[in-house]
Amino acid sequence: MLWLPIYALFPYPITLTVLQVTLVTGAGLVLYILARHYLQPPLSAIITISFYCANAVIGPTLANFHDICQIPIFVFSLLLAMEKRRWSLFWILAILILAVREDAGVVLFGVGFYLILSKRYPKIGLAICTLSFVYMVALTNLIMPIFSEDISQRFMMERFGQYAEGEEASTLEIIWGMISNPWRLIGEIFTPFFGTIKYLLGQWLPLAFVPAVAPASWMIAGFPLLKLFSAQGLSVLSITIRYAMTVVPGLFYGAILWWGKRESEVENSPLPSLKFQRFWVICLCLSLFFTFTSNPNRTFYFLVPDSVQPWVYVPAHQQWQHVSQMRPLLGKIPDDASVAATTYIIPHLSGRRAILRFPRMQFRNDAREVEKVEYIIVDLWRLNRYRVAFKSDRQRLEKIVPRIEDLYNSGEYGITGFADGVVLMEKGVVSNPDALDGWEKFRREIAQFSDK
């Protein structure tokens, strides 16, 4: 809601991308000012450069717009307000952090935990911890169920169902499940062991592993890390998706305090040493290298193959040709129409009231009535290209194709457009013969490949 006036002035998908990059860039500038509170300009600059070179920053920034991109700038600003003792601004930023999303309180709780353990501002820390905990519990147990009754069945169970006894659980029940069965929690944290270690090394790398020995980093970032490591699912240990960004502020602030303590202990000697500076530069180069080769969100598809064995590579000119054939189909969808689309098409249609990720099709309108979307547009070309190497894309393709068949065979939706593997369907209309022929030909090609 904070950025809605900007989007209202420029209601285009690119606005969200620019906003996300601006917020992350601004976070780095605030980080520099925060570092200068303790450190000399050269070291503050290196820490800021490390922020911009971090895989956990670059990867999520190159994704579609997401709410967590606000966390770094809000948390760094909160910590700066604390250092300057601007308490009114501190509490405003605390509220803004909580307003980002339902689990942002975990990040704020870490800040409060640090204030208590460090004995800097224990009363404020206790207030922050209490506010964060009460907010998360109240929101997930009282507020969110008003909008969706499956909060205890889906939201909690998808990530933390291993701590629950039944098929649904509240936030408090999940927390009690962790406390009452600590061995299960410990096992979950270190499973998979090498995956957990790899994730930590990736987070520490741009700061030359200093957060590993910085107590404040563990105090603040410990709770976001605990949330990730205690959850189930493959995405929680991916350093290139948005959840990784919640760990970043605590690691960097802890590194600042660690270097600040070193500077106060070592007089008349520049920090870091020339030898460590060289090591740090190597770490930054490695961080950038791993970020580039991991191809976060397939951003560098035109430079880096998505798979070597089997070989999957989409040159830029092929992608542009595909987009040029897809755009006329997007142009057939009215600006105020509800739409269900596959993942990579959603940003192009983001400026509308109702948009879902296909195969979801039902939504609750402003009158609290359940209805189905008016249009469906799916990009099967992308899934077809990547399915030879990626199981997830293959499974999506196998799920979506029969779904499209059912929808147009039932007469509920008609296929009104088809181009280069992109299918456009409209509710309550008869299928276009040419589009239907194109779809049938494409479907047969997919079936022949699957039979091999």
Model confidence at 449, in pLDDT bands (50, 70, 90)?
A: low
291: pLDDT confidence band, cut at 50, 70 and 90? very high
- Check residues 123 and 6 and name the one with the higher pLDDT: 123
| Mean of pLDDT over the chain | 87
pLDDT of 331 higher than 60: yes
Q: How confident is the model at residue 363 (pLDDT cuts 50, 70, 90)?
A: confident
Rounded Cα distance, 331 and 77, in Å:
42
For the cut 70, the answer to whether the pLDDT of residue 177 exceeds it is: yes
| pLDDT band at residue 153 under the 50/70/90 scheme | low
pLDDT, average across residues 101-119: 93
pLDDT band at 269 (very low <50, low <70, confident <90, very high): low
Please state, in angstroms and rounded to a whole number, the distance separating the CA atoms of residues 14 and 427: 29
Structure tokens of 379? 């990009």
Are the beta carbons of 420 and 326 closer than 8 angstroms?
yes
As a whole number of angstroms, the distance between CA 225 and CA 246 comes to 9
Percent of the chain with pLDDT over 90: 41
Neighbours of 351 (CB within 10 A): 15
Q: How confident is the model at residue 25 (pLDDT cuts 50, 70, 90)?
A: very high
Q: At 313, phi and psi to the nearest 5?
A: -145, 130
User: 307 or 363: whose pLDDT is higher?
Assistant: 363
Locate 212 and state its tokens. 């590993």
Least confident of 157-161, 273-277, 305-309: 157-161
pTM for this predicted structure: 0.88
Q: Is the pLDDT of residue 163 over 80?
A: no
Q: Are 344 and 382 in contact (CB under 8 A)?
A: yes
* Residue closest to 108 by CA, chosen among 189, 24, 223, 25: 223
